[in-house]
Amino acid sequence: MSAGAVLAGLTGMASTDAAECPRKDALGTSRILSVDARTTPRVGLKSFPQTLALADHEVVLTFDDGPHPPTTSKVLAALARECVRATFFLIGLHASQHPEMVKRIAREGHTIGHHTFSHPFMARIPIDKARSEIDRGIAADEMALHGVSTTTPSTPFFRFPYFEATQAELDLLQSRGIVVFGADLWASDWNEMTPEQELKLVTERLAASGKGIILFHDPKARTAAIMPAFLRYLRENGFRVVHVVPPGTSQKSADAR
């Protein structure tokens, strides 16, 4: 049994081998990791004391704030060339504006998580407004993806804008069986910098941490620009990509997402 499988078993999460990539020289997706709110309600060391059970040189790629077709399409193309699966935390308003892009993200095998409807500072608004932001965001994402407006997410993964949350909001999501994702490191792509500076920053941070959940923003042009080179860095430096999914997601259904 691999070290990653041992780690997953210790935390109550299951892993399976990812689908074989037809391009033999591609980075590929090394395994699928099921993340269950019952055992792992919150992950990401930037916000919480615990994170996913990743082995050394394993990374989870996540993208926030999309979809934004001009740049999201470039990110998707880079991921497809390397047979890499990622997780996209969508803003509900953007999903409602670009439902075909939401469907494309899922069709290409990526996980779709939720990121509120309008991206407010959640810790600065009353709990009833926060609940509405969560529900409207989920409903918009589900409508774009499945044509059904529901506040029960098909993928119960959520990330708070700006990583701001109150304890009441965290408790609310846990009571609904929704995993809250933080991050272990990020590209800081919300700051003004050149693509070259972003690539240097994120690769240096990853080299220092050795593994983790990485945060990017697919609407950022500089992030779309560096994605081919970043994935090449992962491949050339022995990193392996882990694809996170909800419990009960088989390889077959993951491939069809």
> Would you write out the chain's pLDDT as a tens digit for each of its 257 residues?
233 332 333 233 333 334 567 788 999 999 999 999 999 999 999 999 999 999 999 999 999 999 999 999 999 999 999 999 999 999 999 999 999 999 999 999 999 999 999 999 999 999 999 999 999 999 999 999 999 999 999 999 999 999 999 999 999 999 999 999 999 999 999 999 999 999 999 999 999 999 999 999 999 999 999 999 999 999 999 999 999 999 987 544 454 44
* Other C-beta atoms lying within 10 Å of the C-beta of residue 203: 17
What is the reported pLDDT for 117? 98
Q: What is the rounded distance in angstroms from the CA atom of residue 31 to the CA atom of residue 25?
A: 17
Question: What is the distance between the alpha carbons of residues 202 and 189, in angstroms, rounded to a whole number?
Answer: 9
Domain 3-255, CATH among 3.40.50.300, 3.30.43.10, 3.20.20.370, 3.40.50.720: 3.20.20.370
pLDDT of residue 16: 33
Q: Quick one: how far is CA 245 from the chain centroid? A: 10
> Hey, which residues does 113 pair with through a beta bridge?
89
The pLDDT value given to residue 257 = 43
Contact 158, 185 (CB under 8 A): no
pLDDT at 24: 84
In this prediction, residue 250 carries a pLDDT of 53
In this prediction, residue 248 carries a pLDDT of 85
